[in-house]
């Protein structure tokens, strides 16, 4: 069976852990060459060393996606080594939760810089490759916060709503040139960050069980389940899916009340 991502050169941001790591692992298993970007240099280099030891083609890039110059330099380095990019997965992001009027100005700036502007900087850096090749795919990892609001989580949903706007705008702008831009909105996924969140409660097991009971399948999603959706959107199997958002939350977002 032919690898689904053979001949793809994919940039994955926030690749050192969680969903980003799972995306990196399934993409190389499906034949892609990957450039893995993260601001945690030690962790992303460790992951790349592991993938290379298993015979996969991977390159570590260290940059803060909120720094446009650093992003452009990292992309240029990867392009010089492995050629132009065919695919971008904008996965890097950060949780910033505040009560609006109590929020420091810096928290607003940091959230928008990482969760929205960073995705644009990365898209801006690879779009010329895609346009020159006559096609490509950008996949933005959004969130169910992109269309649902939880009090106390401001301004994170503002940025994630914006990311859906970026997805739609770029998808329509470049559709005629063969570039598809889509988003994925995960709900509760069992990442290390979520697992650490349970530990902030007096009874971590009860806190997790409470959330699991709210989810129609009775469990959290797995990072690989998000990653396999990335493979589908990045592959040649989804040529007419564009400017769309696929939700991966076990059906939670369509439940009217508990």
Q: What are the structure tokens assigned to 88, written together?
A: 């971008």
Q: How big is the chain, counted in residues?
A: 258
Catalytic residue (one of 121, 156, 174, 188): 156
- Please tell me the distance from the alpha carbon of residue 127 to that of residue 132, in angstroms, as a whole number: 9
What is the DSSP secondary-structure string of 218-255?
Answer: SS-B-HHHHHHHHHHHHSTT-TT--S-EEEESTTGGG-
97 with 147: CB under 8 angstroms?
A: no
What is the C-alpha R_g of the chain? 18
Catalytic residue status for 188: no
What is the DSSP secondary-structure string of 105-132?
Answer: HHHHHHHHIIIIIHHHHHHHHHHHHHHH
What are the catalytic residues?
156
């Amino acid at each position: 069976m032919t690898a689904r991502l053979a001949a793809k050169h994919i940039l994955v941001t926030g690749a050192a852990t969680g969903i980003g790591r799972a995306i990196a692992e399934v993409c190389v298993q499906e034949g892609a060459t990957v450039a893995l970007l993260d601001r945690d240099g030690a962790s992303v280099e460790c992951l790349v060393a592991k993938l290379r030891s298993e015979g996969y083609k991977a390159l570590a890039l260290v940059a803060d996606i909120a720094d446009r110059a650093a992003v452009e330099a990292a992309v240029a380095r990867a392009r010089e080594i492995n050629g132009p990019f065919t695919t971008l997965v904008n996965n890097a992001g950060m949780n910033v939760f505040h009560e609006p009027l109590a929020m420091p100005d810096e928290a607003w700036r940091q959230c928008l810089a990482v969760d929205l502007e960073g995705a644009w900087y990365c898209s801006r850096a690879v779009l010329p490759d895609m346009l020159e090749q006559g096609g490509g795919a950008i996949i933005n990892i959004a969130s169910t916060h992109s269309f649902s609001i939880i009090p106390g989580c401001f301004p994170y949903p503002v940025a994630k709503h914006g990311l859906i706007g970026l997805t739609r705008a770029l998808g329509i702008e470049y559709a005629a040139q063969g570039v598809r831009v889509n988003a994925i909105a995960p709900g509760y996924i069992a990442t290390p960050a979520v697992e650490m969140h349970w530990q902030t409660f007096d009874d971590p097991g009860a806190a997790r069980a409470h959330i699991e009971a709210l989810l129609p399948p009775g469990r959290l999603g797995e990072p690989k389940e998000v990653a396999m959706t990335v493979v589908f959107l990045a592959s040649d199997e989804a040529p007419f899916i564009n400017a769309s958002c696929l939700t991966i939350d076990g059906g939670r977002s369509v439940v009217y009340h508990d």
